[in-house]
Each structure stands twice: as C-alpha cells, then as structure tokens.
Amino acid sequence: MKIALNTFLILLLFLYTGCNTKNLVTITDLPSDLEEVSGTEIAPNSNLIWMVNDSGNKSKLFGLDAKGKIIKELKINAKNHDWEDLTSDPEGNIYIGDFGNNLSKRENLTILKVKASSLQSDSDVEIERISFRYPDQKKFPPKKKKRYFDCEAFFYHNNSFYLFTKSRVKDDFGKTSVYKIPANPGMHEAQLLGTYSNCSDLRCWITAADISPDGKKMVLLNQKSVLLFTNFKGNDFFNGTIKEFPFSYESQKEGISFKDDNTVYITDEKAHGAGGNVYEFSLN
C-alpha cells in the first residue's frame, strides 16, 4: 500500500508540473486607496509603479514604491468614467485608458495623456485626449449577443495604441479583438486587426495587456492565467507562438506591466478578504 501511495504522489506531482502552473510571488500589499486597482504601469525614467482605480473612484493617478507606499498622488483634470488600464511611451508619458464599457453603450471612449513632466507636479494635472470609436459598432448598445465592445486592456507600441476588447457575450467570454489607434490627439476610427479566443467562461475575460521593452513579447491577463505571445511579425500578435501560464490560484487580476523582458508585475483587486496585492511573475 505504501509503495502504491508513493507512486500515486509522484504521478500527481508530474501531472501538476506538466500543466506549467506557477506561483505568483507577492511583492507587497496595496493601500486601501487602491482596493479597486484597474491599471498598472512601469514608465521609463520613473522609479515608481503607477496605478489607477476604475469607475466610481476619484480621478487620481498614484505612484508607489516597491514597498507599496504611495509616493505621488496626482489629481487628473478629467472624469473617471471607467479607467481600466495604463500604458506609457518611450518619453515617459503615461496614458490612461478611459474605455471601460460594460454595456457597450458608451460613445465617449477616450485615452488620456499625462505628460512625463506632469508626473512631478504637486497641483492638478491637465491632460490631452485621444478619442476613438469602433468601426464595427453600429448601435449603442447593440443586442446582448453582439456586446463585444467593452475594453480593459491596451499598450503603446511604435506610435500607436493596441486595444484588446473584453467580451460580454454569454458562452463567448474569452474572445478578444485587437484594434489599432494612432497615438495622437483627436478623434480616430479604430482599425480592427484580428481576434483571438482563449476559452468561453468568465475566467477568460481579458483584463490587461502589455508588450515587453524589446517589443518581442506580448501578454494578455485574465483571472486564471497569463497568455504569452511571441514570434509574431509586426503587429500580427495572434499569429505567432502562444503559451499559457496558469496561476496557482484565481483572483480578480486587473493589471499587468513588464518589469523587464522576462518578468511582469501583476495587481489584483481586494475582494472578499483576498487579493489587493502586487505580484511578480516570471515568464521563463
């Protein structure tokens, strides 16, 4: 009986590691001001981790140190309709994605530019607006079976933004579409580049995205895993190599940002007494 039990345990360990399940390494917990954190970004020329909360919270951009202490708290002169993600450009400007769209009925989708020079400000911060619309959305809102226009994920790359939608369609929650938008002020019609489906249930909602500093790796986040895309050509992200890294536990993960080319920071909301942390996660 003991030999059989040992054999079973070894087999179980083999199956577990074979699934490539990895633990998140907790770096720090988040302060109460960021219990509904929705976006996380490491910006060039800054030693802080920048974060925002989503709808229902104040229009503030927070800069934290590696111990989770808020060092900068900037009031942004723009309404937080539904801030969902952060990204930055090589000059250190930060962009806030105000494009959360749960019912696919918004017609004021916007990206807010916070200039790098404003990150040192002690007063209210003015912004520039990049507005956009989806070319394939004709009704506001569309029928429930066509509500593919929520968004919580984007990044800046080569003078453009790439947005990854979050499906609200039952039995198709894992579908995401990628759209391209010029990183210039004004109103733009987004360009649809492609679609990808991970799985169909709610755990597959795409809640954040980022691209590595060398531009060779792209990640999408959901509550159960990180999806890593490599060996793509140009901005054809979905037609390269795809690898999934399942987490050892699930939570409401909302933010992801590359720390370096092989490591990401991940944040989750605090809910039901769990979460509310900054994690480090290796893509090796």
Q: What is the CATH number of the domain that holds 272?
A: 2.120.10
Domain contains 278 = yes
Domain contains 201 = yes
Distances (CA, A) of 180 to 192, 194, 237, 273: 7, 10, 12, 38
Q: What is the pLDDT of residue 272?
A: 80
Q: Which residues contact 186 (CB under 8 A, 6 or more apart)?
A: 130, 131
Mean pLDDT, residues 72-82 taken together: 97
Which structural domain range is residue 30 located in?
25-282
| d(C-alpha 268, C-alpha 222), whole Å | 10
Domain contains 135 = yes
Structurally, how many domains does the chain consist of? 1
Q: What is the pLDDT of residue 273?
A: 80
Span 236-257, pLDDT tens digits: 999 999 999 999 889 999 999 9
Q: What is the pLDDT of residue 17?
A: 33
Give the pLDDT band (50/70/90) at residue 12. very low
> Model-level pTM?
0.91
Give the pLDDT band (50/70/90) at residue 22. low
Domain contains 90 = yes
- Between residues 5 and 121, the one the model is more confident about: 121
User: Residue 14 pLDDT more than 70?
Assistant: no
